[in-house]
Chain A
Amino acid sequence: MVKAGMNIRLLIALLLMATTSFAAADEERDATQIVRDAVNHWRGLSSYTEMTMVIHRPDWERSMTMQAWTKGDEQSLVRVMEPKKDRGNGTLTDENSMWTFSPKINRVIKVPSSMMGQSWMGSDFSNKDVARADDIIDQYDHTIESVETIDDMAVYTIKSIPHEEAAVVWGSEVLTIRDDHVVLEHAFYDQDGELVKTLKSFEIGEMGGRTIAMRQRMIKTDDPDEWTEIAVNTVEYELDLKDSLFTLSNLRNPRN
């Protein structure tokens, strides 16, 4: 009976844009599935987000407001709205490639592989973090380290170790994922097991019909004074986004 109920639920879920499986099957889900669900939960099949990114340094701080669209695993478009002088700067990713556009020079530039490791828009995220956010699913071996119950909700601590030949420098990444697919913490450890940086979630709440982390902060362990925070202002999921949104011409000439 339990199984039949689960199947019906799954069916409904699939009909409702298939945001992958739900909490019902929690015991059986393996670590990889938990991670995949979390990634899918965060970006959905498609999404539109307005967010504010704050880059903090000991002696200065700046914030940018941005719009972002995502579709599937591969496509995303980010465009800066504020501050005024950066307005129109955009980043487009498709598969593993990345392009940037700056209205000041009126040029679309393909980010070369040599620059993928560099900072994205001056933040603590690298271009690679932005372009290849979902490598975490299939380039790692995931194991559940522990399961706790916090506020009546199961919280999984998952250790993800990159495959030997994966293009990942970390020794391991530890994800703390709540049963409702919210990532509470994403810690990056070097190969000696030392913590290098942590992406922490604050203010978990309901938005766009989902429970998501509304504020996330990337903090370097060595320099706690340097961090980048992304706060989600509005988010909508499962929109019908046209493929033409994720094209170079749209990056250059916004038509949305």
Chain B
Amino acid sequence: MHMFFVLSRLAWRYLWRNHRRTIVMLSAIAIGAWAMIFMTALTRGMVDQMIEDGVSVIPGHVLIHDPDYLDDPSVNNRVALNDAELDERFGDAGFVSWASRVRVPAIVTSERESRGVTLLGIDPQAERGFSFVDYDDVDGRFLEGPDDKGVVLGAKLADTLETRVGKRVVLMSQDPDNEIADRGFRVVGLFHAEMDATEESYAFVGKRTAQDMLRIGNSVSEVVFVGDDYRDVEPIYEKVAALVDDSVRVSRWTEVDTYLGTMMGMMDGFMLIWVIVIFLALSFGLVNTLVMAVFERIREIGLMLALGMKPSMILGQILIESMMLLAVGLLIGDVLAWATIKPLEGGIDISIVAEGMEMFGASSTLYPSFNIDDVILANVVVMILGFLASLSPAWRASRYEPVEAITKV
């Protein structure tokens, strides 16, 4: 232990003997670390936002469907349990939020236009809180109950259809016998969403009204369960799976929206690759600096060896030197990254490129997220890889013949 302190002191002093070189190296490491963390925070922020928006639109962290529903979301693939059976099974099972809904493709027609939408027959009270629609931010009003005879469209869709609150539209879909099921609905409200695509693709009607229109009795297309954190859905999944049999399929949201599910897994992999790429660039500078530092003081190393210092101590000293350099550099980089991300956490307005961002499902405000796990990952990876990169110059330094080294010009 005592030896370690001696070596550390030596290393620290050597580091600052050529302070200009050390400062250059420190800034390289600091900027590298800053780039790693800052870029990751931006990407992570964007992906988090995408996933959150996506999950809120699904919505639900665990879902029950007919086994064929995901392949063919038609009215024929309904959950085998009807409303009453669902209530009986899940009503008292202690789920925080759950709801059953009718979800079928439909066509909405106004006097002038028609558009394809997803028709959602919902019980608005059951979905309050986890619906992606903020009930209070609706022009007009939101649905009042499962028997509501009105329809709530997205504001953008209403624009396209040239309709508005108070006017009637016709929703058309198919009943289980492939006959046309249609009905007139009065637009009672227009909802707002982060993305235009969301506003354009959903039409909300009362669950009972939808069931009547589609002539499906009291059956539903899906049952959704929502927990506290979309990253951790296993407990709900297991609880739900235990309550149903094989006639239905229980899925996590990652299976329903595989794009988003993959996205979440990919983000962690991306982070690691990004850190390694930056480190590779950094490592050349690091190794070069160390090689120079060793080369400069061959004679001193020879002298120390001649005085009886063990080669392993030389090795240790060079490694400590490199670790110190990295640690200080990383620390500066971390602080720098934190200082730049914090003021931006309120969101960066990127509405200039919003249309492009929408194409892959991201919104027009970017919220960088300073994720402590990412920071730890970046630091640990750099330290480990830095250690490995320093091994070679340190090893060479420890292998000098004392006499040769002292006499080296």
A196 to B163, CA, bound (A): 14
Contact of B180 among A113, A188, A190, A196 (CB under 8 A): A113
Q: How far is the CB of A100 from chain B (nearest CB, A)?
A: 15
Knowing A114-B107, A117-B107, A171-B111 are in contact, say whether A166-B184 is a contact too (CB < 8 A): yes
B172 close to A191 (CB less than 8 A): no
User: Which B residues from 149 to 191 make CB contacts under 8 A with A?
Assistant: 149, 163, 167-170, 172-174, 178-186
A117 close to B111 (CB less than 8 A): no
Q: How far is the CB of A111 from chain B (nearest CB, A)?
A: 9
B107 close to A168 (CB less than 8 A): no
- Inter-chain contacts of B110 with A (CB < 8 A): 169
- Inter-chain contacts of A191 with B (CB < 8 A): 111, 163, 167-168
A168 close to B179 (CB less than 8 A): no
Question: Interface size bucket, A side?
Answer: 20 to 34
Q: Is B140 an interface residue (CB 8 A)?
A: no
Which residue of B has the minimal Cβ distance to A97?
B179
A169 to B182, CA, bound (A): 11
Q: Is A110 an interface residue (CB 8 A)?
A: yes
- Inter-chain contacts of A170 with B (CB < 8 A): 111
User: Which A residues from 111 to 140 make CB contacts under 8 A with B?
Assistant: 112-114, 116-117
B112 close to A117 (CB less than 8 A): no
- Inter-chain contacts of B114 with A (CB < 8 A): 117
A169 to B185, CA, bound (A): 9
A104 to B89, CA, bound (A): 54
Q: Is B67 an interface residue (CB 8 A)?
A: no
B111 close to A169 (CB less than 8 A): yes
A213 to B262, CA, bound (A): 63
B184 close to A162 (CB less than 8 A): yes
User: Which A residues from 157 to 195 make CB contacts under 8 A with B?
Assistant: 162-171, 188, 190-192
Which residue of B has the minimal Cβ distance to A117?
B114
Q: Is B82 an interface residue (CB 8 A)?
A: no
- Inter-chain contacts of B182 with A (CB < 8 A): 113, 167
Which residue of B has the minimal Cβ distance to A139?
B184
Q: How far is the CB of B201 from chain A (nearest CB, A)?
A: 14
User: Which B residues from 52 to 111 make CB contacts under 8 A with A?
Assistant: 105, 107, 109-111
A167 to B172, CA, bound (A): 8
A165 close to B111 (CB less than 8 A): no
Which residue of B has the minimal Cβ distance to A166?
B184
Q: Is B116 an interface residue (CB 8 A)?
A: yes
A113 close to B173 (CB less than 8 A): yes
- Inter-chain contacts of A116 with B (CB < 8 A): 107, 172, 180
Q: How far is the CB of A38 from chain B (nearest CB, A)?
A: 23
Q: Binary interface profile of A, 83-103, with partner B (CB < 8 Å = 1, else 0)?
A: 000000000000011000000
Q: How far is the CB of A53 from chain B (nearest CB, A)?
A: 22
B184 close to A190 (CB less than 8 A): no
A114 close to B183 (CB less than 8 A): no
A167 close to B174 (CB less than 8 A): no
A167 to B169, CA, bound (A): 8
A166 to B163, CA, bound (A): 17
A97 close to B168 (CB less than 8 A): no
A114 to B109, CA, bound (A): 10
- Inter-chain contacts of B172 with A (CB < 8 A): 113-114, 116-117, 167
Q: How far is the CB of B182 from chain A (nearest CB, A)?
A: 4
Q: How far is the CB of B60 from chain A (nearest CB, A)?
A: 26
Which residue of A has the minimal Cβ distance to B187?
A191
B174 close to A112 (CB less than 8 A): yes
A165 to B168, CA, bound (A): 9
A112 to B163, CA, bound (A): 24
A112 to B185, CA, bound (A): 20
Q: How far is the CB of A160 from chain B (nearest CB, A)?
A: 14
Knowing A165-B184, A170-B111 are in contact, say whether A113-B174 is a contact too (CB < 8 A): yes
- Inter-chain contacts of B167 with A (CB < 8 A): 171, 191-192
A113 to B338, CA, bound (A): 56
Most buried by A among B111, B167, B174, B178: B111
Which residue of A has the minimal Cβ distance to B177?
A97
B184 close to A164 (CB less than 8 A): yes
A167 close to B107 (CB less than 8 A): no
Which residue of A has the minimal Cβ distance to B115?
A117
Q: Binary interface profile of A, 58-81, with partner B (CB < 8 Å = 1, else 0)?
A: 000000000000000000000000
Which residue of A has the minimal Cβ distance to B107?
A114
- Inter-chain contacts of B107 with A (CB < 8 A): 113-114, 116-117
- Inter-chain contacts of B149 with A (CB < 8 A): 164-165
Shortest 9 CB-CB distances between A and B: which pairs?
A167-B182, A190-B111, A113-B180, A117-B114, A191-B167, A167-B170, A113-B172, A169-B111, A114-B107
Q: A166-B184, A191-B167 are in contact. List 13 more A-B contacts (CB 8 A).
A: A96-B180, A114-B172, A117-B172, A165-B185, A167-B182, A167-B184, A168-B184, A170-B111, A171-B111, A171-B167, A171-B168, A190-B112, A196-B112
A-B contact pairs, 27 of them (CB 8 A): A97-B179, A97-B180, A110-B178, A112-B174, A113-B107, A113-B181, A113-B182, A114-B172, A162-B168, A162-B184, A163-B184, A164-B149, A164-B184, A165-B149, A165-B184, A167-B170, A167-B182, A169-B111, A169-B168, A171-B167, A171-B168, A188-B111, A190-B111, A191-B163, A191-B168, A196-B111, A196-B112
